[in-house]
Structure formats: C-alpha cells, structure tokens
Amino acid sequence: MPGPLLFYVRHGETEWNRAGRLQGQHDSDLTALGQLQAVRSAEILRELWEREGRSVDDFDYVASPLGRARATMERIRETLGLAPGHYHTDPRLQELAFGRWEGRAYYQLQANEPDVLAARERDKWNFAPPGGESYAALMTRVGAWHATVRRDSVVVAHGGTGRALVALMRVAAPEKACVFDIDQGVVYVFAGGQFARYG
C-alpha cells in the first residue's frame, strides 16, 4: 500500500548559495530571492490542494532544524495563513555534512584538492568529504525519518536530503539520484514511488 504523500520543498536561496559556497550543516540567511521562493512554494501548495479539494489542516509540517529550512517553512506557513512557528523539526532531515569543505567554494576545492574531487566524481554516492558524510549515509538517516511518517506531510529541507529521498523512493538509481536537480521555489510530490515537480 502506498505511503503518505510528501510535498517536498527545498529551502529558498541563501547568501552562501548565491556566493557558490558549500553549506552542508552550516547556515546562512535567506536572500530576498529566497524569501520570494518560499512564498512561491506556498502558492504552489495552495493551488495543488485547491485542485484536490484539500485544506491546509490536512497535513503535518516538518522541517530540517537548520535555520534556512526553518525560515522557509515559517514563510510558507505564514503565506498559507497558518501560525508560522507551529511545525516540527527533525535532525535526520539536515543537509549532507560536507565536513571541512563547509563554507568553501567549489573553485577553491578544484585548486587545492583536485585528487579528492576526482575520487568524488568516480563514485559520488559513496564518497564522503573529509570529515563529512556520503549520500549513502544520508539516505540511511533520511530513511529512518521516513519510516516514522504516518500522515501526508509538507517537508522543508535541502537539496541533498531531496536527492536521498529520490533514491530511497526509487525514483532514480542512487548514482543518478545524487546528481538530481532539486530546485528552489518549486514543490516536489513523492507518492508511492511516483514523483512530480510543480513550479
């Protein structure tokens, strides 16, 4: 039997996203565009639910505890007319940990750690940055969270977390899931092995 629907939103653009810096489990503020992307995600959710005759009260709301995901969730809830802070967080939804790479730009890694980056390109799914974690490990913790979901839910988290769900729910094979585009300002719906993108 299919599990609950997940309406998945990646947090809005952050200052580090705009600067091309790896965030991982560090944080930076949403940009003005990131705030608008959160509002747009809420509008998409409202349109989807109106089409299906559903209400904002039909869902659980859960976010990664990282600040950029919380800020996005709170803007979504406010736009939907809900109390901004009335949602759950779960640490298992945190972004992929990049270890000592967090805060660094990709061009810096290309200049200073080309051999390590080459290893990453050979097996991105199982590769763990120095002091960080692999997509395989991330899928294990996201899977532990997913096993607890009992109700259709709005989930706000990260690009890496979304890729782990793509693999977990067999939308794509792991080696393809880890390079899957998880965009900002859109809504992804996971439903019993099916997957759709709105926005």
DSSP H stretches of helix in the chain: 15-19, 32-52, 67-79, 106-112, 114-122, 135-146, 159-168, 174-177
Separation CA 122–CA 6 (nearest Å): 31
106 within some domain: yes
DSSP 107-152: HHHHHH-HHHHHHHHH-TTT---TTS--HHHHHHHHHHHHTT--S-
Report the predicted TM-score, pTM, of the whole model to 2 decimal places. Answer: 0.95
Confidence category of residue 192, pLDDT binned at 50, 70, 90: confident
Pairing state between β 187-191 and 194-198: antiparallel
- Are the CB atoms for 126 and 135 separated by under 8 Å? yes
**pLDDT tens digits along 11-24:** 999 999 999 999 99
Query: Please, which pLDDT band fits residue 121 given cuts at 50, 70 and 90?
Result: confident
CATH for 93: 3.40.50.1240
The helix/strand/coil state of 9 is strand
**53-64, pLDDT tens digit by residue?**
999 999 999 999
Number of domains in the chain: 1
Interior CA angle at 103 toward 99 and 167, to 5°? 55
What's the number of CA atoms in the CB half-sphere (13 Å) around residue 191? 9
Residue 22 structural domain: 6-198
Residue 56 forms part of a structural domain: yes
Q: What's the confidence (pLDDT) of residue 178?
A: 92
Does any domain span residue 1?
A: no
1 pLDDT more than 60: no
**pLDDT band for position 107 (50/70/90)?**
confident
Q: What is the pLDDT of residue 116?
A: 83
Residue 70 resides in a domain: yes
Exactly one of 11, 74, 102, 158 is catalytic; name it: 11
| Inter-CA distances, 192 with 6, 17, 24, 62, 108, Å | 10, 31, 28, 19, 40
Mean pLDDT of 85-95: 98
Catalytic residue among 13, 74, 95, 133: 95
Residue 154 and residue 77: Cα distance in Å, rounded?
10
Mean of the pLDDT values across residues 185-194? 91
Percent of the chain with pLDDT over 70: 99
Candidates 174, 180, 170; CA nearest to 2 is 170
What's the pLDDT score for residue 17?
95
Strands, sheet with 153-157, edge to edge from the N-terminal-most edge strand: 88-89, 60-63, 153-157, 6-10, 187-191, 194-198
Q: Which residue has the higher pLDDT, 40 or 107?
A: 40
Distance CA 81, CA 39 (A): 12
Beta pairing, strands 194-198 & 6-10: unpaired
95 as an active site residue: the answer is: yes
Q: How confident is the prediction for the chain on average, in pLDDT?
A: 95
Task: Note if 52 is an active site residue.
Answer: no
Band (124; pLDDT cuts 50, 70, 90):
very high
Residue 153 lies in a domain: yes
- The whole-number pLDDT of residue 2 equals 64
